[in-house]
Amino acid sequence: MMKSLLTSVLGVSLSSLLVACVIEDAPPRRLSNDPRPTPTAPGGSSNPGDPAPPVSPSPMLVTVDTDQVMTADPGQGVGVFTEYAKGGKWHVWWTCDTAKTRQTCDFAINVTVASGTIADVDASHLQGGFSVTPTASRVEARVTTSSEVHGITFTTSPGAVITLEASVGGIKDGAFLFFVQDGKVNGGYTETGGKLTNPLQLQGNVP
């Protein structure tokens, strides 16, 4: 059964900058009576006049401050966080709002690299039942998260662009995604009313 509309408040701090930020009005992670289009073959429709299936937006490219680290209280909000360190080292991690809602979050995380390969995938921070599928250019992780921090690390060529696609309970929304740009969470997109795409492309500002 679909659960009622939920709104989370996610506290995020940039530990390396000693700046505390609060991200408000996070997106609903589950919708009640959520209409789902019937899957159809590419270019086709199950019935004449049926609406076309939704199309993912073209990914926005954002720059991530290199060697900056974020922290969030596990269980207090829904978010997917991306950090980049020099030399092509990536850390993608996520939290749920279980402490507030008594519900878990079913995360599906897909990362691809535009050029080069994804290597050194480490999923040791995923406890319990989970699925991780790495290939030369993609890593996929699926796990149910509650009051813990889950995440993966991997490496790419220094300066490579990755594309991150994340869903929670089947819902994709750019407001779930967080990174550091110009010393601010999401580069101030939230402050200016801007909206991030999901999928989202990310690149470290210093390779």
Q: Is residue 186 part of a domain?
A: yes
> How far apart, in whole angstroms, are the C-alpha atoms of residue 155 and residue 207?
12
The residues, ordered by sequence, that sit 6+ positions from 58 with a Cβ below 8 Å of its Cβ are: 197
Q: Among the residues of 56-176, which ranges form H helices?
A: 98-101
Tell me the pairing of strands 177-178 and 79-85.
Answer: parallel
How far from the centroid of its chain's Cα atoms is residue 79's Cα?
7
154, 111 contact by CB (below 8 A): yes
* φ, ψ of residue 205 in degrees (nearest 5): -80, -20
Q: Is residue 37 part of a domain?
A: no
CATH number at residue 174: 2.60.40
Q: Is residue 36 part of a domain?
A: no
Tell me the pairing of strands 19-23 and 180-181.
Answer: unpaired
Q: Is residue 187 part of a domain?
A: yes
Is residue 24's pLDDT more than 80?
no
* Structure confidence at residue 189 as a pLDDT band (50, 70, 90): confident
> How far apart, in whole angstroms, are the C-alpha atoms of residue 196 and residue 207?
23
Sign of CA dihedral 74, 76, 78, 81: negative
Q: Is residue 194 part of a domain?
A: yes
Q: Is residue 18 part of a domain?
A: yes
Q: Is residue 190 part of a domain?
A: yes
Q: Is residue 25 part of a domain?
A: yes
In terms of residue numbers, what domain contains 148?
10-31+59-204
Least confident of 23-32, 65-74, 164-173, 190-199: 23-32
Does the global pTM surpass 0.75? yes
50, 40 contact by CB (below 8 A): yes
> How far apart, in whole angstroms, are the C-alpha atoms of residue 159 and residue 87?
8
How far from the centroid of its chain's Cα atoms is residue 88's Cα?
19
In the chain, the number of structural domains is: 1
> Tens digits of per-residue pLDDT, 79-134?
999 999 999 999 999 999 999 999 999 999 999 998 999 999 999 988 778 999 99
Is residue 34's pLDDT more than 80?
no
